[in-house]
């Protein structure tokens, strides 16, 4: 396919973009890249204290239960939030230079993935030092990450291109993500919900991804491969649809911005 060749030809641009995004995020801050660790850790501390008192029920590893979910969740939200800005933020080069515009959402999702892999060190440190330990189920980590990557790519294609024409989306996304945080079993257990709510939660793709991460890091059990494969297929479908939307809308970028 033509698109893969195009992206391959512009791989250097993709690389510098990803580097710029990772380095640029904490540029001019004293602690620099340390914020990549501090941010989720502090967030984790807040959630552990508040929700720990409310929901933990004496579970000594509750903070790890949250941690395993919070780190992939952070990847999910930052990638989507940044997608809304990426085309608008690069307005001046879009108006002046030709390059495959697809590079922009792809580099947002890729730089997020790099950050996520680095942050996984936090999860590993927690499970090792708390005595939960590691299991061989970790071999599924790349597979789960791949599904999340493709899912995000699809969302990113749509969000980044639609926001150009419909700026409100940026704010709508903020609200949706805030709601989605509570609609995903991050701070509580799915079983704590009433049965009818549990069924609705099954429609949330992040529920299954979070469950899978928990299976390999926390519960040390086989993730539900059947669900993951369905999720993979749906994510690929979403990315294909998203790509066509992006392709159609990108023609007007230079005029709309």
Q: Would you give the binding string for other proteins spanning residues 67-106, x where CB under 8 A is met?
A: -------------------------xxxxxxxx-------
- Residue 249 tokens read as 């809308």
- Member of 168, 175, 194, 226 binding other proteins (CB under 8 A): 168
Nearer to other proteins, 10 or 137 (CB): 10
The answer to whether residue 9 forms part of the interface with other proteins (CB under 8 A) is: yes
Q: Would you give the binding string for other proteins spanning residues 236-255, x where CB under 8 A is met?
A: ---------------xx-xx
CA distance 11 to 109: 15
Burial of 97 by CB count in 10 Å (0-12 exposed, 13-18 middle, 19+ buried)?
exposed
Residues within window 180-199 making contact with other proteins, judged by CB under 8 A? none
Pick the closest to residue 116 from 156, 145, 91 (CA basis): 145
CA distance 150 to 106: 10
CA distance 81 to 77: 6
Nearer to other proteins, 14 or 68 (CB): 14
Nearer to other proteins, 26 or 99 (CB): 99
Torsion on CA atoms 140, 123, 71, 37, rounded to nearest 10:
-140
The nearest distance, CB 31 to other proteins, in angstroms, is 18
Burial of 5 by CB count in 10 Å (0-12 exposed, 13-18 middle, 19+ buried)?
exposed
Residues within window 103-162 making contact with other proteins, judged by CB under 8 A? none
Residues that bind other proteins (CB under 8 A): 9-13, 15-16, 20, 27, 92-99, 166-168, 251-252, 254-255
């Amino acid at each position: 396919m033509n698109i893969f060749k195009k992206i391959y030809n512009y791989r250097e641009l993709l690389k510098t973009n990803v580097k710029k995004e990772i380095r640029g995020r904490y540029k001019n801050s004293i602690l620099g890249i340390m914020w990549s660790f501090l941010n989720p850790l502090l967030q984790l501390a807040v959630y552990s204290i508040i929700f720990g008192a409310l929901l933990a029920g004496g579970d000594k590893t509750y903070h790890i239960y949250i941690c395993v979910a919070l780190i992939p969740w952070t990847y999910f939200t930052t990638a989507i939030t940044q997608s809304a800005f990426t085309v608008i933020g690069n307005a001046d080069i879009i108006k002046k230079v030709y390059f495959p515009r697809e590079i922009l959402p792809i580099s947002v999702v890729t730089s997020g993935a790099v950050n996520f892999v680095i942050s996984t060190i936090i999860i590993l440190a927690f499970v090792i030092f708390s005595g939960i330990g590691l299991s061989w189920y970790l071999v599924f980590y790349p597979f789960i990450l791949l599904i999340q990557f493709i899912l995000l790519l699809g969302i990113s294609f749509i969000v980044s291109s639609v926001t150009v024409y419909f700026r409100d989306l940026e704010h709508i996304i903020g609200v949706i993500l805030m709601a989605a945080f509570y609609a995903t079993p991050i701070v509580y257990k799915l079983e704590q919900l009433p049965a009818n709510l549990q069924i609705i939660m099954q429609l949330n793709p992040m529920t299954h991804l979070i469950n899978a991460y928990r299976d390999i890091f926390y519960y040390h059990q086989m993730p539900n491969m059947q669900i993951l494969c369905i999720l993979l297929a749906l994510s690929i479908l979403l990315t294909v649809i998203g790509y066509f939307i992006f392709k159609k809308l990108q023609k007007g970028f230079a005029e709309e911005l």
